[in-house]
Amino acid sequence: MKTHGILTACFAFLLAGSAHAQTNGLTFEVNFRTRGEVRKGGLDVNRDNAKNYANFIHERTLFGAQFERSWLTAKLTAQHSSIWGDDASGAINIYEAWTQLSSPKGFFAKIGRQNLSYDNQRVFGADDWAMTARSHDVLKIGYEGHGHKLHLFAAYNQSSANVDGGTYFDGGLQPYKSMQAAWYHLDVPHTNIGLSLIAMNVGMQGGERNQPTEHTFQQHLYGGYLSFRPRFGLAEAEYYRQGGHEEHGVPIDAWMASGKVTLTPGSGWSLYGGYDYLSGDDDYTVPKPGQAGMMHHERIRGFTSIYGSHHKFYGAMDFFYVKAYFGGFSPGLQNAYVGGTWKPLEKLSLDVSAHYLAMAANLEEVEKTLGYEFESALTWSLNKDVDLSAGYSYMHGTESMVYLKRSDENRKLRWAWIMLSITPSFLQK
């Protein structure tokens, strides 16, 4: 009863002052995305009779309805994802299902399944490229106004509504059992500087159900993101640190830092360059094919941003932090890159970039350089609802890449794709 009274008081505070004339709105939105991919290389050398190419067409549909009133917003979005020709129905789930109560004074409370996207999406992002957009079941409360934004959110996940089965979490929408996080953003007055700070605690299920080893291990992440937007471009910098313990109780001591500068000297083109550093495990070894191999790790030093939009960083071919290294541990990553964007027409843009990729850890077996990746992407906006895009990437991997992935096809990789996106808001009243 006490908890119920507290929640009632919070909602009453949020709705204070919202009794003025109300306007209702109902919007239906749909997102059709179809992407064809052609890949050559990258398969495991241990796969018998496997050809080193793959062609497929992936499709995703999002259909959502959003209701808005002056103090209330509610949204429900269904998601379907499948491969053309698959005899199964594909993946069907609810991507969004949330309700938000808002106050004219800037306070709000939002509860349900929702997307969490912050700053450049390094820590929290929709990961929209994956064709199964990421969402979280959370309660979020916060304030936005006068150059300040503060969001507090918490989640507790369970596999089923057990009456007597304990609280063991087998995994589901997200890998964590519980999460608490705070995000604060400040737009510095009279400047073009923005500062964001984030702190997060994640509880990960470890051990076996109903066994003495069953335990929830706590992991921590904290850091900040800084942006400066002068007239001629954008400068970004960020730093995050991880601690706590992973699912087997091994301590975590990892960090990452990144910097990027974008210059826009003309209205039709821009240049950018940056550097990412993600710490890695020095105690890293890969057994020879046919051998199991074991390595004891006293600490985990490989940084992992498991809730971010990984495809935005570290190269478009997603060889790092999407596809794991052999054995699951990470030797870290250095990603130095340069690129540019050119818009010959208002609705047509071309982006090209080059990446130098290397390990962060020092391994005796191999050199640090992993390879070189070259990327290009073309986007044509046919109209406000329809985009057509295509891309091509080439990666030349070194012997270090072959060793870490234990895949002989990681020397010369080619990947091409073409994608159609249709996003109309087809009914509104």
Which structural domains are found in the chain, ordered by start? 36-161+168-428 (2.40.160.100)
Count of other CB atoms within 10 angstroms of residue 75? 21
Return all residues near 163 (Cβ < 8 A) that are at least 6 apart: none
Q: Please give the pLDDT value at position 22.
A: 52
What are 127's two structure tokens? 């990961």
pLDDT in tens, 274-313: 999 999 887 766 655 555 455 566 788 889 877 888 889 9
Specify the DSSP class assigned to residue 287: P
pLDDT tens string 310-339: 889 998 888 777 555 655 678 899 999 999
Nearest one of 309, 360, 355 to 335, comparing CA atoms? 355
pLDDT value of residue 12: 45
332-368 exposure pattern, b = at least 16 Cβ within 10 A, e = fewer: bbbbebebebebeeeeebebebebebbbbbebeebeb
CA–centroid distance for 129 within its chain: 9
Q: What is the DSSP string of 201-223?
A: EEEEEES-TTSTT-EEEEEEEEE
At residue 316, the pLDDT reads: 87
Find tokens 């800084």 and name the residue.
226
Task: Identify the H or E element spanning 379.
Answer: strand 369-381
Q: Per residue in 204-233, pLDDT tens?
A: 998 888 888 889 999 999 999 999 999 899
- Summarised one tens digit per residue, pLDDT across range 11-43 is 444 444 444 445 578 999 999 999 999 988 654
Indicate the pLDDT class of residue 266, thresholds 50, 70 and 90.
Answer: confident
As beta bridge partners, residue 260 has 236, 274
Contact between 217 and 249 under an 8 Å Cβ cutoff? The reply is: yes
User: Residue 163 pLDDT > 70, yes or no?
Assistant: no
* Spatial distance between the Cα atoms of 165 and 181, rounded to a whole number of angstroms: 28
Note every long-range contact of 264-272, with CB atoms under 8 Å and residues 24 or more positions apart, other chains counting.
Answer: 264/232, 264/233, 265/232, 267/343, 268/342, 268/343, 268/344, 269/340, 269/341, 269/342, 269/343, 270/233, 270/340, 270/341, 271/338, 271/339, 271/340, 272/338, 272/339, 272/340, 272/341, 272/353
Q: Quick count: other Cβ atoms within 10 Å of Cβ 104?
A: 14
* The pLDDT of residue 391: 97
Q: Which pLDDT value is given to residue 8?
A: 43
Judged against a pLDDT cut of 70, whether residue 61 lies above it is answered with yes
| pLDDT higher at 167 or 258 | 258
Give pTM, 2 decimals. Answer: 0.87
